[in-house]
Amino acid sequence: MKTILIILATAIIFLLGSISAIYIEKIPFDVSAFLGVIFTGIAALATAYAALSASRSARVAEQSASTWKKQMQLDVELSEAKKLKIALNAWQRHFTHEAEKYSGEDLLRIGELLQIQNKENLINQLQRYISKYEELWGELEQSFDNASFIVNDFEERLRLRRLSYTHSKGCYELMFYLQGIIEPDSCFFEVNCSAVYSAADWHQLDLAGINITRVKLEQRDKTGGLVSIKNENDKFIYTSVYDDVQSWYTQIGIKIDYQIEAIKLKLGNI
């Protein structure tokens, strides 16, 4: 802009100076010379105006390109964020459907039900479940990576990953037992069934000190870090795999929803 103004001012000065010079040196001055100066000045002004118009057009084009680029970036972010929420929901629904298969039953009863069912049918059912579970978990991990711009707590993802591993391990142990690959020990069903299924008496078993699958209950401290919770006797408080999965699923889902709305707001302000 500063350059254009200098060109414009120079053209005007050139025009006035030329007219003055002719007027002083040629009295009476030559009409053709005067017209030449006039046309030269007009051409200079036209050049300056054209340069100014080109500069304005370039700025408009630059602003439009910047806006388009920003909108495209936000569109991609919104798409990946939505895919992440879909993947999280799909994985959680699949997990919950199997975990609540014996909803309302005590842990001992769940173990008994697994032993009296048709083994071949149960093996096929577990194989299908595990195959789909691992597929959905892989898609969820990939969605987290693709949506790396989403602000998420890696510690939360780590907790969810550990829970997923514990759950998968319990599923494989039960399937290997049904296939006759391994022999169950004294706490086999208590440990593995509590890793896979939601049991009505889990908390009673935990308080009684029964050997079941449990995870430490955690909360954030003043610095925002995750710390294990202890009771008044300075002992750790535990929770079930099922309850902890639901807790982390809810916390992570809320953060994703919040950031989806934030992206939509940015798009609306463009």
**Residues 152-207 pLDDT 10s:** 567 888 899 999 999 999 999 999 999 999 999 989 999 999 999 999 999 999 99
| Region 32-48 average pLDDT | 59
Cα–Cα distance measured from residue 36 to residue 50, given in angstroms and rounded to the nearest whole number: 21
Does 45 have pLDDT greater than 90?
no
Does 62 have pLDDT greater than 50?
yes
Alpha carbons within 13 angstroms on the beta-carbon side of residue 263 total 23
Alpha carbons within 13 angstroms on the beta-carbon side of residue 239 total 16
**pLDDT tens figures, 110-143:** 999 999 999 999 999 999 999 999 999 999 999 9
**pLDDT tens figures, 217-268:** 988 888 878 889 998 888 999 999 999 999 999 999 999 999 999 999 888 7
Q: Quick one: which of 136, 43, 139, 88 has its CA closest to 246? A: 88
At 18 the pLDDT is: 53
Cα–Cα distance measured from residue 135 to residue 99, given in angstroms and rounded to the nearest whole number: 17
* Residue recorded with tokens 């809320």: 254
| Region 72-80 average pLDDT | 89
Backbone phi and psi for residue 233, each to the nearest 5 degrees, phi listed first: -95, 15
Longest dimension (CA), the chain: 124
| pTM of the complete model | 0.76
- For 63-101, give one letter per residue: b (16+ CB within 10 A) or e: eeeeeeeeeeebeebbebbeebbebbebbbebbbebbee
To 10 degrees, what angle do helices 2-25 and 31-99 make? Answer: 180
pLDDT band at 44 (very low <50, low <70, confident <90, very high): low
At 3 the pLDDT is: 52
